[in-house]
Structure 1
Amino acid sequence: MSNLVSRSRRKLVATALATTTALALLSGSAAAAEWKYAIEEALEEVQGVYAQKFKEHVEANSDHTVAIFPFGTLGESADTTELAQMGAIQFVDLSPGFTGSLIPELQVFLLPYVLPEEPDILADFYKTSETINKELAAMYEQQNLHLIDMFPEGEVVMTTKEAVKAPADLDGVKFRVMTTPLLVETYNAFGATATPLPWGEVFGALQLNMIQGQENPMFFVESTKMYEVTDHITFTGHNTFTTAVAANKAFYDGLSEDDKAVVSAAADAAYEHIIEYQKGLQDEALAKIKEAKPSITVTTLTDEERAPFREAAKKVRDKFVEITGDSGKKILEGFEADIEASTKRVKGDG
């Protein structure tokens, strides 16, 4: 029943947005348009900061305007992704944690202990990776989406009701994950009981003890007050949260060359801005959490303590290849080669 309700809601929203667009075109210049852009977070969070910089650049360099729709205004991530595919909105943020069910190869971003932890290497990798910007970009096209950009949002941390120092500490813990198969595999391998849930249900589920843990970047843990319903934060170093920005393919293909150049330049400006913006963001968020809840415990696992999690991650890697076949194996190999190239470039070894 909930899926039927969700589909009906998306159709109603799509119709309303399409009508608004048509009226705007009738009442104003056909050359200028309002581009609708839905994000998975609030305006003051990382995706919102990126989107506002994108909007600023577009509006300063064209006659177009950009309307940003924060999380919840057009539904959950599945809703906004479908609205973008339908062409009801022009731009959308869609993290691989949700779109991995649409494009299985995107789950490469969810593999634990594959992405580098160093921010400078990450920033170079997302910008220069041919695996991302060519191979994976082509897979978006098959879903009626055009990949505009990808960027990191910070190291993922676990927040739980009980302390976590080893996989055994996750035994019996119902751990919320995004609705994609590889995250289920990851937390089951880590010893927990993976529990897929839409984001809107997570706070209440933790409050009612229906689940006992979740993962997200530190800024999001702070802004969404996840620390109020969990007591322990653990840095395991297992992943970085990734976000993609995509456009409806038909919309993008129909843009003039000048407008495509505006979109590309806006994405470049927003990317540079968000990388700079995130410097120190994790520490600032953690300081706010500690001030709001002095009893919170924060643990960074040592290399020795991470070893059993790394060992468990091998099973997840095998599962990824099993799910995605030769295509996924090729993506993973290219992914790791691109990371190595970025590492050499940033460290001056290549």
Structure 2
Amino acid sequence: MNTVLHRRAALCAALLLSASVAIAQDIQERTIKFGHLNNADHPTSLGVKKFAEIVAAKSGGKIKVQEFASSQLGNELQQQSALQGGVQEMLVASTTSLNGIVKEFGLLDFPFLFANAKQADALVDGPLGKMLTAKLPEKGVIVLAFFDLGFRNVTNSKRPIMKGSDLEGLKLRVIPNPVFLETFRTFKANPLPMPFAELYGALESKAVDGQENPFAVILSSKLYEVQKYVSGTNHVCATNPVQISKRFWDKLSPVEQKLLQDAAIEAQNYQRVVSREISGKALGELKTKGMIYNDLPAAELAKMRAEVKPVYDKFAAAYDPAVVTLFKTELERVSKF
């Protein structure tokens, strides 16, 4: 009996060893250039570092992830183009650049959609997120996960924003995105599309009066040095797709693809928690740095939400009807979270 058990144990050990060898052979020495726009102390960077750590552990150190923070590899659209061309392996950035290749990603930038971050997570993690990302591989991009950027809020050097009409006449830098441009034009602001890397200089030189970003971005990028007022508009809850070049993806073995996909989801789950913790503390730090904060009354936010309805209607009319229908259904589902 003991001999039989020993043989079985030896066979199991041999099978495990051969499986390990096979998996090891399926993982090649690779270096991944992973770019993003934020500084190295921002939650986006923490998510990229966590991804790199997980990938190194899962690949036995064979796959190395090199982080390029602070737009080192170019602005968002330049990095998106490099990704599609296979020059850059990975990117995490806003849905803006994806808007340019699959316009329905603009749905995620519609203003005043969410009451909390869980609703935004549920939308991109569910059927709508899957339908949108399924349109990308033919454009040279694959989305592995969605990092959290947070609720976007308006800052400026002129006055507190207490209602929609307070935006009138303000020169505001916005991400180069048609939905954002139309949203702020609704409130008679003067929105100016501009790469993020140019923002601080534009605020410092007074080329623009203000901008809109989550608290953690405002803090990490030291915008408090060139902005006086921060107003809790919470107009968009931004999620940042973790993207990988399809040209690079197609060179990977199935084992490597699964490894990167699993690592991205694990990093996403970590990054969302960290991002929201940091965001909660960032507002307090902005006040300490001298920024003047104000909430918007609920009644004024409701009015702003009503005023931007034509923005929804205009863009939805130009999108794939099947995607828009699913978007409306999903919005109703996630509103319960």
Which of 1 and 2 has greater Rg? 2
Q: What is residue 302 of structure 1 aligned with on the other side? A: 297
Cα distance change of structure 1 residues 120 and 131 upon mapping to structure 2, 3 Å threshold? closer
Cα distance change of structure 1 residues 60 and 210 upon mapping to structure 2, 3 Å threshold? same
Residue 192 in 1 paired to residue 184 in 2? Answer: no
Q: What is residue 78 of structure 1 aligned with on the other side? A: 77
Distance 1:43 1:291 in 2: 22
Render the CA deviation track for 1:226-254: whole Å, top value 9, x for unaligned: 12212111112321122111111122123
Q: What is residue 223 of structure 1 aligned with on the other side? A: 220
Deviation of residue 177 (structure 1)? 0.7
Distance 1:343 1:165 in 2: 25
Deviation of residue 343 (structure 1)? 4.5
Residue 117 in 1 paired to residue 115 in 2? Answer: yes
Equivalent AA in structure 2 for residue 299 of structure 1:
N
Distance 1:276 1:198 in 2: 27
Residue 318 in 1 paired to residue 305 in 2? Answer: no
Name segments (4+ residues, structure 1) moved above 2 Å. 119-127, 329-333, 335-344
CA contact (8 A) 1:99 1:106 kept: yes
Which one of 274, 278, 289 corresponds to residue 286 of structure 2? 289
Sequence identity of aligned pairs in percent? 24
CA contact (8 A) 1:101 1:181 kept: no
CA contact (8 A) 1:126 1:151 kept: no
Over the aligned positions, Cα root-mean-square deviation in angstroms equals: 1.8
Cα distance change of structure 1 residues 30 and 303 upon mapping to structure 2, 3 Å threshold? closer
Equivalent AA in structure 2 for residue 64 of structure 1:
I
Equivalent AA in structure 1 for residue 80 of structure 2:
T
Deviation of residue 308 (structure 1)? 2.4
Unaligned runs of 5+ in 2: 1-25
Residue 330 in 1 paired to residue 322 in 2? Answer: yes
Distance 1:72 1:136 in 2: 25
Aligned length: 309
Q: TM-score, normalised by structure 1?
A: 0.83
Structure-to-structure mapping, 1:172-183, within 5 angstroms:
172-183=169-180
SS in structure 2 at match of 1:139:
coil
Render the CA deviation track for 1:242-298: whole Å, top value 9, x for unaligned: 2111111122123211111101110111011012212332231111111121xx221
Deviation of residue 106 (structure 1)? 0.9
Distance 2:174 2:162 in 1: 19
Q: What is residue 94 of structure 2 aligned with on the other side? A: 95
Distance 1:253 1:170 in 2: 47
Q: TM-score, normalised by structure 2?
A: 0.86
Unaligned runs of 5+ in 1: 1-28
Distance 1:281 1:94 in 2: 18
The farther-off stretch of 238-247 and 30-39 is 30-39
Cα distance change of structure 1 residues 200 and 56 upon mapping to structure 2, 3 Å threshold? same
Structure-to-structure mapping, 1:1-350, within 5 angstroms:
31-62=28-59, 63-114=62-113, 116-127=114-125, 129-133=126-130, 135-161=131-157, 162-293=159-290, 296-322=291-317, 324-325=318-319, 327=320, 329-344=321-336, 346=337
Deviation of residue 30 (structure 1)? 8.8
CA contact (8 A) 2:287 2:293 kept: no
CA contact (8 A) 2:144 2:265 kept: no
Distance 1:275 1:30 in 2: 28
Equivalent AA in structure 2 for residue 131 of structure 1:
L
Distance 1:212 1:287 in 2: 23
Distance 1:200 1:163 in 2: 25
Deviation of residue 51 (structure 1)? 0.8
